[in-house]
Amino acid sequence: MESARDLWARLAAALDRAPDVVLPLAQVALAVAIALALHRLAFRMALTRIDGRRDMRAALLRRARRPLRLVALLTALLLTLPQVSMAPDLGGAIWHAVLVLVILLIGWTLILITNFVTERSLQRQRLDLEDNLMARKRVTQVRVLRRAIEILLGMVTVAVALMTFESVRRYGVSLFASAGAAGLVLGLAARPVLSNLIAGIQIAITQPIRLEDVVIVENEWGWVEEIFATYVVVRLWDWRRMVVPLSYFIENPFQNWTRETASIIGSVYWYADYTLPVAEMRAKLEEVVEASALWDGKVKVLQVVGTDKDTIHLRGLMSARTSPLNWDLRCEVREKMLDWLQREHPEALPRLRGELSPTPEPAERRAAEPPRPGQETGPDGDGQ
């Protein structure tokens, strides 16, 4: 008992000898520590009760953990500071920090609410279905607009927090008053960010591309994997990733194979001899295409699209539900038709024609040559 009294007496004596700022700061720190401990305890109990649940309240509680920790911190400061006597400069600095934290908390809360609402609205949109055009439209629009809103909320929050500093306010007023070279420099510096941000809003509204669209960009074929605030990730056919600025899809031409529907027509070319029976090959092509599970039942055509001095050029058209299926269908048809040509009409494969004539012997060639002018020929063939 006496040791505890001695410890308390020593602590009181140390506080009496300490500077005036130590005791108020210690009281504020103790209040903050108690608030954070209560927040952790309350959330541990709440998360234990909702463990395994996937409803709206459970998801909202999990997302609100960090913002509520900041709320607990601000609550402790707001309840403690009026009860603590400290120097005006220190008190003013702490109150200013509280104001900045409140502004950041409001912006953070708005961003979290935006994310929560958008994700809840997209839960029923399935991109793994074959006919997912409407889902891709909705998901693309919501995600791009959400990222644009997040950037705007972040910029506004930071700007409001900075404007609470007197030096920043004076600099901002002087910058607007000059409205000359400094404004021009800032505008040029912010041009890439603003152009991509505006391009993102345009893409969300007009939707030239959507998630999982099949596109050809810079002669590379792939799918739109993700659309971020300033760039797009294209997943190429060989699993590489191409990162393209958002403004590229507004300012440059590109191919979108799934703008309205994923169905596509593919072509296969053959070069054959003029002796090929085209009608028979057309019937075989239709048989092969109809027997394939990859065909969508719409297009199956064989046409002679060109000729040259040695071969005829044939083009087969066939359709499928998606571009990957169409690629596989074209490869299948090409292989089976080549096998049919080799077995049934090997003489119709491309060939080069030429005419061979016997070459006369040298004596026969000399005898066949006419005599030269002024030259006589004797009976034995010798010149006289």
Average pLDDT for consecutive 10-residue bins of the chain (384 residues)? 61 57 73 83 77 67 78 80 72 81 86 85 74 78 85 87 79 58 61 75 86 92 88 92 90 89 92 94 95 94 93 95 92 96 92 70 60 55 46
Say yes or no: 39 and 113 in one domain. Answer: yes
Q: How far apart are alpha carbons 360 and 350 in whole angstroms? A: 32
Q: Identify the CA nearest to 119 among candidates 139, 137, 133.
A: 139
Residue 186 is assigned to a structural domain of this protein: yes
Say yes or no: 112 and 184 in one domain. Answer: no
Say yes or no: 92 and 168 in one domain. Answer: no
- End residue of a domain, out of 92, 121, 150: 121
Q: Which residue do the tokens 């934290």 mark?
A: 101
Contacts of residues 129-133 at CB distance under 8 Å and 24 or more positions apart, as own/partner, are 130/262, 130/321, 130/322, 131/262, 132/212, 133/258, 133/260, 133/261, 133/262
Which residue(s) pair with 303 in the sheet? 315
Residue 370 is assigned to a structural domain of this protein: no
Burial tier of 98 (Cβ tally within 10 Å: 0-12, 13-18, 19+): middle
Residue 66 is assigned to a structural domain of this protein: yes
**Strands 264-272 and 214-217, bridge-based pairing:** unpaired
Contacts of residues 141-147 at CB distance under 8 Å and 24 or more positions apart, as own/partner, are 141/204, 141/205, 141/207, 142/118, 143/118, 143/211, 143/227, 144/200, 144/201, 144/203, 144/204, 144/227, 145/201, 145/204, 146/114, 146/115, 146/118, 147/200, 147/227, 147/228, 147/229
Domain region containing 72: 14-121
